[in-house]
Amino acid sequence: MIAFAGTAQAASPLVYLRDIDPSIRQDMRYAGSDNFTGKPLPGYAAGECMLRRPVALALKAVQGELAARALSLKVYDCYRPTRAVAAMARWSRGAGGPDTSRFFPAAERSQLFALGYISGYSAHSRGVAVDLTLVPRDAKPAAQAARSGPCTAPQAQRAPDDSLDMGTGFDCFDTKSYTRNASIAPAQAANRRLLLEAMRKHGFTNYKREWWHFSFNSADDGEAYDLPIKPR
C-alpha cells in the first residue's frame, strides 16, 4: 500500500533523524543538484533525513560507537518518496539536461536501468534504507565544485566530499562501487570494511553493489510512502 502525498505526515511512521541524533551529519543529495540527475528530485521539499524510528535508533547506536574513533556517520539519502523513485526511472530513459556523466563514466545513461543501478522500486520508499558514509567528526563540509572528475577517479579529482576515501564517490554507477571490489586501494577497502562492520553490528545489511547502501530489514513491513519531505 502506498500512502499518497495528500496523507497527513503525522499518519506515517517516519521520524526526522535530526530529532533522534542531531550529531549525524546530513548531506541530502536529492534535495539539491549534486546528484546523477543534476537537479532536485520531486518530493524533496527539504534536505532532511527521515526514517522509520527503529532505523533511526539503530543509526544512533552506530554513531555512538563511532565516537570512540573520532568518526561520524554522514547520510546522503534516507526515506525517498515514490514520486522521486519514478522520476529517477524517467530520467534514465530520457535525454537532455545537465551533463552528469561523472556519476556513470563507463556506461551510457540509457543503460543504467537495465544494468540495475536504477530501479522502479526502492526500500528507501519504505523508510528502511539509508545511503551513508564515514567522516571525521571535526571535518568541515565540502563546498560543491563547478566541475569535477569521474566518480571513479582518485579522491582529489572527484567531486569534493568530507568523507573518508571509499574508492569512489557516492552514487557512482560502476563496478568499482561494489563493496568488495578488488581493484581499490587497501586503505580504501579498509574504510569500507569499517563502515560495513559498524553497520552490521547494529542490524543493517549492505547491498553488495553499492558500498554506501544499507537496509534495516527487521523494520520493513512492505509499505511504501509518497509523502513529501517537508522542513522539520
pLDDT in the model for residue 5: 36
Q: Which CATH number applies to 2-225?
A: 3.30.1380.10
pLDDT in the model for residue 146: 62
Q: What is the pTM of this model?
A: 0.93
Which pLDDT tens digits describe the chain residue by residue (232 residues)?
333 333 444 467 999 999 999 999 999 999 999 999 999 999 999 999 999 999 999 999 999 999 999 999 999 999 999 999 999 999 999 999 999 999 999 999 999 998 989 998 999 999 999 999 999 998 887 777 667 899 999 999 999 999 999 999 999 999 999 999 999 999 999 999 999 999 999 999 999 999 999 999 998 999 999 999 999 9
Instruction: Extract long-range pairs of 65-71: CB within 8 Å, 24+ residues apart.
Output: 65/198, 65/201, 66/134, 66/198, 67/137, 69/194, 70/136, 70/137, 70/138, 71/134, 71/135, 71/136, 71/137, 71/164
Per domain, the residue ranges of the chain are: 2-225
